[in-house]
Amino acid sequence: MAKKTPTQLARTLASVVDAPKLHAHYPVVPGSLTAHLQLRSGETFTGGSFGAASATVGETVFTTSLVGYPESMTDPSYRGQLLVFTQPLIGNYGVPRRTRDSYGLLKHFESERIQCSGVVVSDYATKYSHWNAVESLSEWCAREGVPAITGVDTRALVHILRGQGSTLGSLSAGAQPLDTASIAWVDPNADNLVAQASTDDIRVFNPAGDVHVALIDCGVKYNIIRSLCDQGARVSLVPWNHDIMANLSAYDGIFISNGPGSPTHCTETISQLRRAFAVYQRPIFGICMGNQLMGLAAGLNAYKLRFGNRGHNQPAVDLTNGKCVITSQNHGYALDDSVMPEGWARYYVNANDGSNEGIRHLEKPFRSVQFHPEAKGGPLDTGYLFGEFVDSVRAAKQAGLAATLSEDISASAQAATA
């Protein structure tokens, strides 16, 4: 047999296509509750339960973040997902107190509750130590009804997910795994998760701000609101399907947040943005889901990534200057930017897989990024984008730039007849 090259060998080792289905069992301390992670593709992992004694189904995804599990677990973008942490030790600094800042936002969480459907870790720390901790990760998960499993070979699990892509999974607590024939394998991405995560009412933050920004809530993280307020903006948080066209001139700028699931469900938001693009002259900015919705409104298509980009270590290259930044990301869909619509250009690109990381308009002040400049837990490389956005909003307001073309034309006509 011919000797394999290093590349051929690496591909062989990395392949899970022909491997037998994995059934891994972790010995549980006598008297402790057992938990089971069952993938729809047939693999099973048995370990210890440290969350709620319940069962759930979700899309099994992984994050490479080393820190920030309270922020990740409360990120609405993880709604409907079983969250696998590749960092081996989780829970060692417990769960912080629910302290609020001057804007009324929780300081240490990205929303009011745990958003992921379940938690999967290699090694849960039963004892925690941190000056700000008030409870254990186990107590938190149990209190909020979220099942969690420890003792999983997360390296093997991620190996599977990278090979076959993000997969539906069932996470249950009990002596025996569930009968696979009885599991309702419901794909959360088939639902409009944005509508579930969005606010129902308009909420105003930092009302004394000198510029007024409409923040379209697709499942917003609290630190996005905080970052805009810290820059001096008055923020009106509006529902995902809010009719922004009805009062467009009231906004000095428009911001579209992150959010869970597929962007294709948000047809109302896409329609609103498409109409705004045609007449609005002030700055528009989007993050994560906001990037995808702006892309769809501009004429691009979106596709599902094989296993997504989730973690705090994703490199993105700014195509305007060649600078590479390390970013926090959490998305399973991306824009197909192989052919850009007229008037639009690629803004950032992922240095790992070449996927889209942002778009920008060539003439109007519209741009968006796929990553999270507001990242809690870091990195902080791109936090300046909030300052740039609010500064551009402020400059447009100070320059007296009309909100829409129709207002600009009307003002010009009145001046001509005066």
HEC readout, 297-316: HHCCEEEEEEEEEEEEEEEE
d(CA 198, CA 238) in angstroms, rounded, equals 8
Mean pLDDT for the stretch of residues 60-72: 96
Q: What is the pLDDT of residues 231-270, one digit of tens each?
A: 999 999 999 999 999 999 999 999 999 999 999 999 999 9
Catalytic residue among 36, 71, 288, 312: 288
Tell me the pLDDT of the chain averaged across its residues.
Answer: 92
pLDDT given for residue 11 in this prediction:
37
Catalytic residue among 59, 71, 110, 374: 374
pLDDT given for residue 19 in this prediction:
57
Q: Is 374 a catalytic residue?
A: yes
pLDDT given for residue 418 in this prediction:
46
Q: Is 363 a catalytic residue?
A: no
pLDDT over 60 at 5, yes or no: no
What pTM, to 2 d.p., does this model score? 0.92
Q: Locate tokens 């906004």: which residue?
A: 251
d(CA 396, CA 221) in angstroms, rounded, equals 26
Which helix (H) or strand (E) segment holds residue 153: the answer is none
Q: Is 59 a catalytic residue?
A: no
Cβ contact 242:216 at 8 Å: yes
Tokens, residue 191: 């639902």
Cβ contact 57:93 at 8 Å: no
Whole-Å CA distances, 311 to 109, 172, 233? 17, 25, 28
HSE-CB for 89 with a 13 A CA cutoff: 7
* Identity at 289, one-letter amino acid code: M
Catalytic residue among 108, 331, 361, 372: 372
Q: What is the pLDDT of residues 168-226, one digit of tens each?
A: 999 999 999 999 999 999 999 999 999 999 999 999 999 999 999 999 999 999 999 99
Question: Sorting pLDDT into bands at 50, 70 and 90, what band is 405?
Answer: confident
Q: Locate tokens 């990760």: which residue?
A: 137
Tokens, residue 98: 């629910």
Q: For residues 130-166, b (16+ Cβ closer than 10 Å) or e, as one string?
A: eeebeebbbebbbeeebbbbbbbebeebbbbbebeeb
pLDDT given for residue 1 in this prediction:
42
Cβ contact 267:204 at 8 Å: no
| Displacement of CA 244 from its chain's centroid (Å) | 23
| Displacement of CA 172 from its chain's centroid (Å) | 25
The larger pLDDT score, comparing residue 404 to residue 337, is at: 337
For the chain, the straight-line distance linking the first and the last C-alpha, in angstroms and rounded, comes to 91
Q: What is the pLDDT of residues 142-170, one digit of tens each?
A: 999 999 999 999 999 999 999 999 999 99
Which helix (H) or strand (E) segment holds residue 160: the answer is helix 154-164
d(CA 312, CA 66) in angstroms, rounded, equals 8
